[in-house]
């Protein structure tokens, strides 16, 4: 049985490689029937995308990750595919913080039914907390919604609108992983 499987894989691979490598590079990884494909992730940032979504690999759905794939647009990119997983708006807002140029493909019945480009706004409203404990956004009695301005996208740097504390990608990811 095992032998048979191996033989079959070996015999089909060369044919596909010759004709399709260039064209379908992004799609070849694993096709999913339904779920979400996060494409055009800044090269090397796929792991951060998983982290910020709280995906550890212990979920019961398929997670496919490809890093440093060549792309005509950006040179290199990462891709994350999540089977049976759809992103809420607040999750998309988080992804934007680590992959500001990504695109989201919604897959239903094996087809892309919706394609959206993630857009990182200039002002990030109520997505992350200010790490400064004395910031007005952290006061329990007078709740002010946290607000950050994007100082730089690459590397990511955000500035608190109220206390000017700077936050980088590591701080951002830590907020979504520490609480677990």
Q: Which residues of this protein are in contact with Zn ion, per CB under 5 A?
A: 130, 132, 135, 160, 162-163, 165
- DSSP 3-state of 21: coil
- Report, in Å, the least distance between residue 171 CB and Zn ion: 12
d(CA 66, CA 68): 7
Cis status, amide bond into 33, omega within 30 of 0: no
| Closest to Zn ion by CB, 95 or 160 | 160
Q: How far is the CB of 127 from Zn ion (least distance, A)?
A: 14
| Residue 15: its H or E element | helix 2-20
Strand partners of residue 65 = 80
Please identify, using beta-carbon distances, which residue of 34 and 171 lies nearer to Zn ion. 171
Q: How far is the CB of 87 from Zn ion (least distance, A)?
A: 27
- Tokens standing for residue 23: 């064209």
Q: How far apart (Å, rounded) are the C-alpha atoms in residues 115 and 180?
A: 31
CB-CB contact of 35 with 83 (8 Å):
yes
For Zn ion, give the closer residue by CB, 71 or 138. 138
Kindly tell me which of 145 and 179 has the beta carbon lying closer to Zn ion: 145
133/128 Cα distance (integer angstroms): 13
Least distance between Zn ion and beta carbon 142 (Å): 13
Radius of gyration over every alpha carbon of the chain, rounded to an integer in angstroms: 20
């Amino acid at each position: 049985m095992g032998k048979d499987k191996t033989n079959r894989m070996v015999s089909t691979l060369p044919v596909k490689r010759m004709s399709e490598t260039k064209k379908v590079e992004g799609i070849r990884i694993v096709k999913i029937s339904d779920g979400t494909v996060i494409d055009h992730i800044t090269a090397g940032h796929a792991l951060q995308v998983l982290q910020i979504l709280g995906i550890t690999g212990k979920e019961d759905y398929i997670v496919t990750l490809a890093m440093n794939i060549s792309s005509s647009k950006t040179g290199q990119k990462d891709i994350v595919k999540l089977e049976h997983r759809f992103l809420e708006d607040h999750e998309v807002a988080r992804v934007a913080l680590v992959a500001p140029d990504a695109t989201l493909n919604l897959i239903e019945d094996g087809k892309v039914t919706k394609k959206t480009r993630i857009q990182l706004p200039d002002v990030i409203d109520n997505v992350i907390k200010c790490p400064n404990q004395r910031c007005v956004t952290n006061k329990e009695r007078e709740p002010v919604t946290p607000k950050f301005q994007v100082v730089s996208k690459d590397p990511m740097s955000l500035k608190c609108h109220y206390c000017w504390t700077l936050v980088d990608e590591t701080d951002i990811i830590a907020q979504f992983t520490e609480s677990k």
